[in-house]
Amino acid sequence: MSTRKPAIEIKALYKIYGGNPKVKLDRLRSGACGPDKGSGFVALNNINMTIETGKIFVVMGLSGSGKSTLLRCINRLIDPTAGQIVVNGQDVTIAGKKELRQIRSSMIGMVFQHFALLPHMSVIDNVAFGLRVAGVGRKERRERAGKALELVGLSGWDNRKPSNLSGGMRQRVGLARALVMDTPVLLMDEPFSALDPLIREEMQQELLRLQSTLNKTIVFVTHDPNEAAMIGDRIAILLKGEVVQEGQPIDIVLSPASDYVRDFVRGIDVFKVLSAGQVMDAVCPPMELANKPISEWTKHLSKDFVKLAPDDLIAPYLDELAKEQRALIVVQNDGTPVGTVTPKSVLRALAAHSSLSGSTPKMEKPKAADTTRANAAAERATQ
Amino acid sequence: MDFSEFAGTVATSIDDFTTYLSAHFGLVFDSISTVILGIQQPLATLMTSAPALLIITTVMVGGVLLGRLSLAILSGCGLAFIFVMNLWAPAMVTLSLVLTAAVVALAIGIPIGILIAESKRLNAVAEPILDFMQTMPPFVLLVPAVFFFGVGTVPGIVATIFFAMPLPIRLTAHGLKMVEPEMVEAGEAFGASRLAVLFLIKLPLAFRSIMAGVNQCVMMSLSMVIIASMIGAGGLGDEIIRSISRLQVGRGVEAGLAVVVLAILIDRITRRISEKVDPTA
Ligand SMILES: Nc1ncnc2c1ncn2[C@@H]1O[C@H](COP(=O)(O)OP(=O)(O)O)[C@@H](O)[C@H]1O
Ligand SMILES: [Mg+2]
Q: What is the pLDDT of residue A296?
A: 66
Strands A90-91 and A108-111: unpaired
Do A158 and A282 lie in a common domain? no
Minimum mean pLDDT range among B6-20, B79-93, B119-133: B6-20
Chain B residue with Cα closest to A132: B192
pLDDT digits (tens, 9 = 90+) for A79-94: 999 999 999 999 999 9
Probe site for chain A from B190, B198, B199, B202 (most A CB atoms < 10 A): B190
Question: Distance from the CA of A44 to the center of ligand 2, in angstroms?
Answer: 13
CB-CB under 8 Å, A104 with B189 = yes
A263 touches A305 (CB < 8 A)? no
Instruction: Look at residue A294 in the predicted model and tell me its pLDDT.
Output: 62
CATH number (domain holding residue B189): 1.10.3720.10
Backbone angles phi, psi at B66, to 5 degrees: -80, 0
**CATH classification at residue A229:** 3.40.50.300
- Closest-CA residue to A321 (of A300, A302, A344): A344
Burial (Cβ within 10 Å: 0-12, 13-18, ≥19) of residue A163? exposed
CA dist., res. A114 & res. A95, Å (int):
28
Domain tally for chain B? 1
3-class SS of residue A149: helix
Q: How far apart are CA A172 and CA B94, in angstroms?
A: 54
- A333 and A257 in a single domain? The answer is no
Q: d(Cα B99, Cα B161) in Å, to the nearest integer?
A: 10
In a domain, B170, yes or no: yes
In a domain, A142, yes or no: yes
- DSSP E strand boundaries for chain A: 6-17, 41-52, 56-61, 82-87, 90-91, 108-111, 185-189, 217-222, 234-239, 242-247, 305-308, 327-331, 337-341
Q: Rounded mean pLDDT of A300-326? A: 79
- The answer to whether the CB of A138 falls within 8 A of the CB of A130 is no
- Inside any domain, residue A89: no
Chain B partners within 8 Å of A130 (Cβ) = 190-191
Higher model confidence: residue A264 or residue A176? A176
CB B190, CB A181: distance < 8 Å: yes
Domain boundary (A270, A293, A328) is at A270
Is the Cβ pair B190, A112 closer than 8 Å?
no
Range of the domain at B207: 25-51+85-277
A113 against A272, higher pLDDT: A113
What is the tens place of the pLDDT at every residue in B39-84?
Answer: 999 999 999 999 999 999 999 999 999 888 899 999 999 999 999 9
The number of folded domains in chain A is 2
User: Could you tell me if residue A43 is inside a domain?
Assistant: no
Contact A133 B187 (CB under 8 A): yes
pLDDT confidence of A312, banded at 50, 70, 90?
Answer: confident
Residue A3: predicted pLDDT: 47
CB A9 within 8 A of CB A50: yes
Mean pLDDT, to the nearest integer, of A337-364?
67
Domain end, chosen from A242, A270, A298, is at A270
Report the mean per-residue pLDDT for chain B: 92
Same-domain pairing of A184 and A227? yes
Q: Using CA atoms, how far apart are residues B53 and B37, in angstroms rounded to an integer? A: 26
A47-51, A306-310, B122-126: lowest mean pLDDT where? A306-310
Contact between B191 and A110 using a beta-carbon 8 Å cutoff: no
Identify the top-confidence range among A354-368, B142-156, B175-189: B175-189
Query: What pLDDT shows up at residue A354?
Result: 63
Give the best-scoring range by mean pLDDT among A8-17, A252-261, A272-281: A8-17
Average pLDDT of B151-161?
94
Is the confidence at residue B223, as pLDDT, over 80?
yes
Range of the domain at A58: 52-71+95-270
pLDDT score of A345? 82
Within-domain flag for A1: no
A177 at B interface, C-beta within 8 A: yes
Same domain, A203 and A63: yes
* pLDDT tens by residue, A347-360: 887 776 665 544 44
Co-location of A240 and A340 in the same domain = no
Kindly report the nearest CA distance between residue B200 and chain A, in angstroms: 9
Q: Are residues A363 and A348 in the same domain?
A: yes
pLDDT confidence tier of residue A299, bands split at 50, 70 and 90: low
